[in-house]
Copies of this chain bind each other. A is one copy, B any other.
């Protein structure tokens, strides 16, 4: 079975568990207040929107590959990382001022609308952002609590939580670089890779993989080898994400394919195009970056420049290079076999060939 099919099957197993989880949390919130009730209901809907479930799958299949004993619990607990994902995305949406996520309205946008319909005082946009900051925080602690309360041995949970917190700190540093990058006039290729490493590679790959490994009883050395897989696989994933963010189909993506430009993100695509472009091409890109009123026609001009300067090809080459590096790390461990190993090898390739 290829990684795409495995991921689909995994999604069909995970999502009912996510649903069940929220069916416990929603009534608790309802007991507290109608405001808490609707907040958790929004969180449920947001978390259950169509998504790859890559992070949960990486955690689960790493657990299997490391021969963990309680795969049923690992599956259930892998939901936690999808709720961590909601937490970070909700905050990210506020920072990026995005209106759309996974084909639906972002949390701050939902609350701004609630304000317009129900409340009279103060600013709806600020209200929306405040509620989203809050709901993100709530999601963080709900997620951590799933792992904390799980059936694994306490020392393993402590080790996994310690890894989690350290890595999300790193993710935060990466996110800061990203935010700063979008207000700076120029950003280096090195900085872009730092953001990719600290933000995506750590949190999309390294965090779920190391949590899954630790819960299965992995040694520090095992975790190190897995990190050598996770970081390049994650960087490749992010470069592909940036390619899709520029060239992808909006319907498949569930978000605008102009928002990276609008936000002024210095992706690898942009940096290489600026490096190799003619003064006229550079000017076109510079004007598009951070333009809040960008049209598809403006974006198309930038897309053409990215193709013409060889920047698209360069990024694609990089994804292949990093995936090869990731898979080479796993090859040092012949004892890691079976369904888990197949998935980790396959998903690295699949993620750079995906369309959303």
Contact = CB atoms under 8 A, between A and B. Distances in A.
Interface in A105-135: 115, 119-122, 126-127, 129-131, 133-135
Interface in A262-299: 264, 289-290
Given A154-B158, A183-B121, A184-B119, A133 B94 contact: yes
Contact of A145 (B140, B166, B175, B194): B166
B95 A130 contact: yes
Among A153, A179, A180, A191, find the residue whose CB has the most chain B CB atoms closer than 10 A: A180
A165 B183 contact: no
A202 to B, nearest CB: 11
Contacts of A39: 173, 176
A121 B158 contact: no
A168 B148 contact: no
B145 A183 contact: no
Nearest to A137: B172
B32 A170 contact: yes
Interface string A143-186: 01100110001110110011011101110110111011011110
A144 B165 CA distance: 7
A198 interface: yes
Copies of this chain, whole number: 2
A329 interface: no
B183 A36 contact: no
A141 B155 contact: no
A317 B148 CA distance: 41
A70 interface: no
B165 A121 contact: no
A3 interface: no
A97 to B, nearest CB: 7
Contacts of A179: 127, 130-131, 134
A118 to B, nearest CB: 8
Contact of A120 (B126, B134, B170, B185): B185
7 contacts: A119-B180, A120-B185, A121-B183, A127-B179, A135-B176, A137-B140, A154-B158
